[in-house]
Amino acid sequence: MFEQQLINGLTLGSIYAIVALGYTLVFGVLEILNMAHGEIFMFGAFIGLLMVVQFGAPIPIAILAAVLVTAVMGFLLERFALRPLRGKKGVSHLAPLISTIGVSIFLENLAHHLFGAETQPFPVSFARISFEIGGVKIYLVQLTIFLIAVALMIGLSLWLQKTKAGKGLRATAESIETANLLGVNTQRIITLTVIIASAMGGIAGVLVGMAFNAVSPQMGLAIGLKGLAIIILGGMGNIKGAMVGGLILGLTEVMSVAYGDSGYRDAIAFLMIIVILLVRPQGLFGSPATQVKR
Amino acid sequence: MKKSLIKFLGVLLSVFLVLSVAACGGSQEATNGGENSSNSNAGEEQSGGESGGGGEQVARIGVISYLSGNGAAYGEAITSGFKMAQEEINEKYKGQLKIELLIEDSAGQRDQALNAAQKLINSENVLAILGPTLSSEMFVVGPEADQAGVPIMGTSTTANGIPEIGPYVFRNSIPESLAIPASTKKAVEHFGIKKVALIYGHDDDFTLSGYEIMKDTAEKLGLEIVKTEKYATGDTDFSAQLTNIQAAQPDAILASSLYKEGGLILDQARKMGIDVPVVGGNGFNSPQVIVQAGEAAEGVVVASPWFPERDVEEVQTFVKKFQDKYGKIPDQFAAQAYDALYIMTQAILDAGTTEDRDALRDSLAEIKDFKGVTGNFSFDEVGSPIMDPIVLIIKDGKFVEFTD
Amino acid sequence: MIDFILNPYYIQIASFILINIVLGISIYITLSTGQLSLGSAGFMSIGAYTSALVTMKLGMPIFAGIISGAIVAALAGILVGIPTLRLQGVYLAVATLGFGEVVRVLFNNMEITRGAMGLPGIPHFGRVLAQSLADMGLTADMLGLRNNQWSALLLFIVLLVIVILVIWFFVRQNHSRIGRAYTAIKEDEQAAESMGIPTTYYKVLAFSQGAMIAGFAGALYAHTTSFINPGDFSYHRAVEILIFAVFGGSEVIWGPIFGAAFLTALPEVLRDLADYRLIIYGLLLVAMMAFRPQGLIDYNVINWLKRKFKKQNKHDSVSNGSDGNGSSKQKGGTL
């Protein structure tokens, strides 16, 4: 049974990790907690569902469509909720937080109107395909999610390290002013960052919809809060931290249900961040020097 | 600086003005009713409304429903039931009685439910209130309505202690304490169940009270509870709980859950290879479970006053009309709401008034052997329903009567 | 007209407005040292449950319950405040949000709170008062009121007195040594420290004052709705309280007061738009941040109002009005 729970934990953890990647990217560059990330994720799930159910599209096409739509949403989010606040005098660092909370409320209720309040099943043929290794049942869906999570993490790290845009992004993350001076088009980098993060949310949405066979307008909030906890745990703006933090949280939650009291499951994420913040405020992978710039 | 603020306020104000004007245009007041003539309306006897003297009496009934937020699906089903009943009643009693529904949203929040109730009672001066949707909302709204002397009837409030709030508080929803023992007993007899596992939503009053009744029932029937698992409302991943349950090897699972989570639990359990029977609480009693869980819903046992396949003419007409109008099979929430408005109408006709709330309360309490789509209905002395639930099982993607 | 005022519907909304004003003040106090706490829902629940249990299980009078609710919340505030106030900005926000969630889960799992079933039958402020007045021989009939009108009115009056006292206290505090220390810390913590202000002491003080007021509001809430359950005090509640301060403004105490009043009344005005209410709410937040991030009411507005008020007063009496103005100038200077 332990092995089975381990698989459950890893699956949940990789989902958390993908969601957290989107958060951490935006925070790394903008130092903004994008509270609307969960809702963009939810829209991704619905777009994927629409493609599969209405148009009978295969999964890769559905994911592509979700990526496109959520990327556009990311652009709109940056354009209308974040850009007007940037560089404005007298804007506290809390303004973007509140603005994105506004966007999340808006999107959740918009989804109510567009898609209805019901939880909808996400029918995929390969959801039932599984294989057994040493008495442990592993589903193809679980494996896919895990692999996509790892691929995204590696891809993102490589992109940040190797490409010009990635370097510009890192420069922007260090200091917007300096990057500007060095000839980086920070405006474009910032927009790009939010778009990429949102698109990753879209991928995560489709995956979660498939994994649990459920899509609903409320799915964003719950997972959004978990994502928030993870980036604190892993260290804000840290990609490896988001990945490891996600896996740790997923495993801990599953193990607490398996061997403890399932009633406290939702408290774990937050107890964990409280402890982390008190003991090691920069998170597991953050370095003390870069922590809390303001 | 000043100017910009004033401008801002001006814009804000005009936005609200525009919105409220728009709101008036599309107000929720649902006063449908075939205005097309040709209806031989006078066929009905004037039962009671002598004071009416030929003129059509208008009964204003308030509705408080969960129409936005997490549980909006329940509120939608309920108000659909009300609206359909309203249309039929206004057609049937044309020239004698007209029901006007004033629908207010509570968003599932008690303070908003209370505001809505105060508005309906004091500003709109309604004759009676139907709703609110959640038991917890009723605990706040009920005492207020009772104090104001306004009859209030919950159509989906199943928690213990609701009719006991006061003499003006009623409900037509069958409490879990009637439904769960019936279904469990039948399943135990039929499948020879000895060991059970329980799973329930621990942060919701409905599923929690359902769990307590399940536990009680299991103990009374001498079943061994091998595992008890909890989850939180809105969870989508039940793999950890279900892996535990699988390891405990129960003969059946008793699940107290709303259909949102219920469908997911079924789906995930069957995928994992748990194929024991599942006995559900009232929350499972919805076609939505089948929509959501598909094949995985096979073999779920529930007890319900509502059974859309029941071979009774009224039931079938209702189901067909509802399906034509809303595109889905009515669930228990819609059916109970539909019946509730008919019960209320009956009481209004019996009391012969659309003004006197006290008279309405008295005639409501007298309702006996009312024949609705959810079966034979009477109130007990506190205002809770007396009715026999039917035990159902899901077979071939349908609820069917569970017979031996 | 009298009927209009005595309509329990309006009194009810007014009562919720008053409670929300207290909540708005609670977050304002914490914000006035530059700290954002999203734990207000958690402290609110502590106050609500303490007061409910004290009155129901121990049979204490409501006033004793409310006071103990506020005290327990304040103690929790100190306990949480001391370790977490090392954190800044969004870190503090997330940590306090976490605290709120943990408290909610705890209440969900406790026996004495009946978990998710909630606590029904909490003594209702208005009804209890009406009862005790009736025992003394004063009934609603004697005043020509209906029972529900009378108890709603009593509740409202008590809340109004309480709110006025709370506002008065904090307006006074703002002009005291404590208030000036808060402002100094908000403007620049290091500078304040170097000027000899014990910043940790004042930050913890502000945090626990905020916690206490939130707990106080929670207790009032419990005795107004007479039913509470852990779901009342979720993330949504914390965000709602934050929005009061954001919308109204958090520079001056009148900001959150206005925000709470306006945003509590708004859903009632927009009741017909029920389906679109939250959509509008969300857009409103985004628009506020883009166009007026300091909130509707800031120093400028207050000063402007004061000047206007003074101009009018000048005609009445020339010598009046020098007192309130001196302090406003000093406040304006901090901009």
User: CB distance B208–C115 less than 8 Å?
Assistant: yes
User: CB distance C278–B68 less than 8 Å?
Assistant: yes
Radius of gyration of chain A (CA): 19
Establish if C86 touches chain A: CB-CB under 8 angstroms: yes
Point out the residue among A106, A110, A232 whose CB comes nearest to the CB of C94: A232
Q: Provide, as residue numbers in chain A, all residues whose Cβ is less than 8 Å from the Cβ of C279.
A: 105-106, 109-110, 113
Establish if A24 touches chain B: CB-CB under 8 angstroms: no
Burial (CB count within 10 angstroms: exposed 0-12, middle 13-18, buried 19+), residue B38: exposed
- Contact by Cβ (8 Å): B174, B158: yes
A vs B: CB pairs below 8 A: 88
A vs C: CB pairs below 8 A: 133
The residue of chain B nearest to residue C228, with distances taken between CA atoms, is B136
Copy the structure tokens of residue A255: 């193990």
A89: pLDDT strictly greater than 80: no
3-state SS, residue B20: helix
d(CA C25, CA C244): 9
Q: Provide, as residue numbers in chain B, all residues whose Cβ is less than 8 Å from the Cβ of A116.
A: 73
B152-154/B169-171 β-pairing:
parallel
Contacts of B1 (CB under 8 A, 6+ apart): C300
B5: pLDDT strictly greater than 70: no
Sheet containing B385-386: order of strands: B370-372, B375-379, B385-386
Contacts of A275 (CB under 8 A, 6+ apart): none
User: CB distance B232–A265 less than 8 Å?
Assistant: yes
Q: Provide, as residue numbers in chain A, all residues whose Cβ is less than 8 Å from the Cβ of C289.
A: 81, 84-85, 91, 95-96, 98-99, 102
Establish if A265 touches chain B: CB-CB under 8 angstroms: yes
Residues 152-211 of C with CB under 8 A from A: none
User: CB distance C246–A98 less than 8 Å?
Assistant: yes
Establish if A85 touches chain C: CB-CB under 8 angstroms: yes
Point out the residue among C87, C93, C101 whose CB comes nearest to the CB of A266: C101
Specify the length of chain B in residues. Answer: 404
Q: Mind listing the pLDDT tens digit for each residue in B376-399?
A: 888 888 888 888 788 889 888 888
The pLDDT of residue B45 is 37
Radius of gyration of chain B (CA): 23
Q: Mind listing the pLDDT tens digit for each residue in A135-157?
A: 788 888 888 888 888 898 888 88
B13: pLDDT strictly greater than 90: no
Q: Mind listing the pLDDT tens digit for each residue in A165-207?
A: 888 888 888 888 888 888 888 888 889 989 999 999 999 899 8
- Exposure string over B140-158, b if 16+ CB within 10 A, otherwise e: bbbbbbbbbbbbbbbbbbb
The residue of chain B nearest to residue A118, with distances taken between CA atoms, is B73
Contacts of B198 (CB under 8 A, 6+ apart): B211, B214, B215, B218, B225, B227, B228, B229, B253, B254, B255, B256
B195-201/B252-256 β-pairing:
parallel
Q: Provide, as residue numbers in chain C, all residues whose Cβ is less than 8 Å from the Cβ of B121.
A: 8-9, 148
d(CA C104, CA C234): 7
For the CA atoms of B193, B301, A49, A55, the dihedral, rounded to the nearest 10 degrees, stands at 120
CA angle C188, C193, C195 (to 5 degrees): 95
Establish if C87 touches chain A: CB-CB under 8 angstroms: yes
Q: Provide, as residue numbers in chain B, all residues whose Cβ is less than 8 Å from the Cβ of C231.
A: 136, 203-204
User: CB distance C285–A102 less than 8 Å?
Assistant: yes
A288-292, B241-245, C102-106, C217-221: least confident range? A288-292
Average pLDDT over residues A57-63: 89
d(CA C246, CA C234): 19
Contacts of A41 (CB under 8 A, 6+ apart): A19, A22, A70, A201, A202, A204, A205, A208, A219, A220, A223, A224
Q: Mind listing the pLDDT tens digit for each residue in B75-84?
A: 889 999 999 9
User: CB distance A257–B264 less than 8 Å?
Assistant: no
The residue of chain B nearest to residue A217, with distances taken between CA atoms, is B70
Nearest Cα neighbor of C102 from C82, C75, C76, C83 is C76
Point out the residue among C148, C269, C304 whose CB comes nearest to the CB of B20: C269
Q: Provide, as residue numbers in chain A, all residues whose Cβ is less than 8 Å from the Cβ of C36.
A: 94
User: CB distance A253–B202 less than 8 Å?
Assistant: no
- Annotate chain C with three-state secondary structure: CHHHHCCHHHHHHHHHHHHHHHHHHHHHHHHCCCCCCCCHHHHHHHHHHHHHHHHHHCCCCHHHHHHHHHHHHHHHHHHHHHHHCCCCHHHHHHHHHHHHHHHHHHHHHCCCCCHHHCEECCCCHHHHHHHHHHHCCCCCHHHCCCHHHHHHHHHHHHHHHHHHHHHHHHHHHHCCHHHHHHHHHHHCHHHHHHCCCCHHHHHHHHHHHHHHHHHHHHHHHHHHHCEECHHHHCHHHHHHHHHHHHHHCCCCCHHHHHHHHHHHHHHHHCHHHHHHHHHHHHHHHHHHHHHCCCCCCCHHHHHHHHHHHHHHHHHHCCCCCHHHHHHHHHHHCCC
Contacts of B160 (CB under 8 A, 6+ apart): B175, B177, B209
Q: Provide, as residue numbers in chain B, all residues whose Cβ is less than 8 Å from the Cβ of C230.
A: 203
User: CB distance B148–C301 less than 8 Å?
Assistant: no
The residue of chain A nearest to residue C250, with distances taken between CA atoms, is A92
Establish if C265 touches chain B: CB-CB under 8 angstroms: no
d(CA B96, CA B290): 42
Return the top range by mean pLDDT from A209-213, A252-256, B17-21. Answer: A252-256
Copy the structure tokens of residue A72: 């556009």
Average pLDDT over residues B44-48: 38
d(CA B237, CA B246): 15
- Contact by Cβ (8 Å): C293, A88: yes
pLDDT per 10-residue tile (average), chain C, 335 residues: 74 91 93 86 95 92 93 93 78 84 89 84 86 82 78 89 93 90 86 88 92 95 89 85 86 90 82 71 85 82 84 59 40 33
Copy the structure tokens of residue B191: 């499948």
Average pLDDT over residues A109-125: 82
B161-170, B366-375, C82-91: least confident range? C82-91
Q: Provide, as residue numbers in chain A, all residues whose Cβ is less than 8 Å from the Cβ of C286.
A: 80-81, 99, 102-103, 106
- Contact by Cβ (8 Å): C30, C37: yes
User: CB distance B147–C272 less than 8 Å?
Assistant: no
B385-386/B252-256 β-pairing:
unpaired
B46: pLDDT strictly greater than 60: no
Establish if A12 touches chain B: CB-CB under 8 angstroms: yes
Establish if C143 touches chain A: CB-CB under 8 angstroms: no
Establish if C142 touches chain A: CB-CB under 8 angstroms: no
- Nearest-CA distance B201 → chain C (Å): 9
Packing angle of the helix pair C254-269, B2-25 (nearest 10 deg): 20
Point out the residue among C90, C242, C279 whose CB comes nearest to the CB of A109: C279
User: CB distance C108–A263 less than 8 Å?
Assistant: yes
CA angle C104, C108, C111 (to 5 degrees): 130
B34: pLDDT strictly greater than 70: no
Burial (CB count within 10 angstroms: exposed 0-12, middle 13-18, buried 19+), residue C1: exposed
Which amino acid is residue C225, in one-letter code? T
Is the backbone of residue B126 left (phi > 0), alpha (psi -120 to 50) or beta?
A: beta
Q: Chains near A, with 3+ CB pairs < 8 A?
A: B, C
- Nearest-CA distance B71 → chain A (Å): 7
d(CA C317, CA C40): 44
Q: Mind listing the pLDDT tens digit for each residue in B186-238?
A: 899 999 899 999 999 888 888 888 898 999 999 999 999 999 999 988 788 88
Give the mean pLDDT of chain B.
Answer: 82
Q: Provide, as residue numbers in chain A, all residues whose Cβ is less than 8 Å from the Cβ of C116.
A: none
d(CA B114, CA B23): 21
The pLDDT of residue B95 is 86
Q: Provide, as residue numbers in chain A, all residues whose Cβ is less than 8 Å from the Cβ of B243.
A: 1, 4-5, 8, 258
- Contact by Cβ (8 Å): C11, C156: yes
3-state SS, residue B401: strand
User: CB distance C271–B116 less than 8 Å?
Assistant: yes
H helix runs in chain A, sequence order: 2-30, 37-55, 59-77, 95-115, 140-162, 164-174, 176-181, 186-212, 219-234, 239-259, 265-279
Q: Provide, as residue numbers in chain C, all residues whose Cβ is less than 8 Å from the Cβ of A278.
A: 83-84, 86
Q: Provide, as residue numbers in chain A, all residues whose Cβ is less than 8 Å from the Cβ of C87.
A: 277, 281
Distance from the first to the final alpha carbon of chain C: 44
User: CB distance A105–C98 less than 8 Å?
Assistant: no
Place of tokens 């009643």: B89
Which pTM value belongs to this model?
0.81
User: CB distance B205–C269 less than 8 Å?
Assistant: no
The pLDDT of residue A183 is 82
User: CB distance B110–C117 less than 8 Å?
Assistant: no
Establish if A114 touches chain C: CB-CB under 8 angstroms: no
Copy the structure tokens of residue C320: 């009046």
Q: Provide, as residue numbers in chain A, all residues whose Cβ is less than 8 Å from the Cβ of B234.
A: 218-219, 221-222
B29: pLDDT strictly greater than 50: no
Establish if C300 touches chain B: CB-CB under 8 angstroms: yes
More confident of the two residues B292 and B117:
B117
Distances (CA, A) of B105 to A197, B326, C235: 36, 20, 21
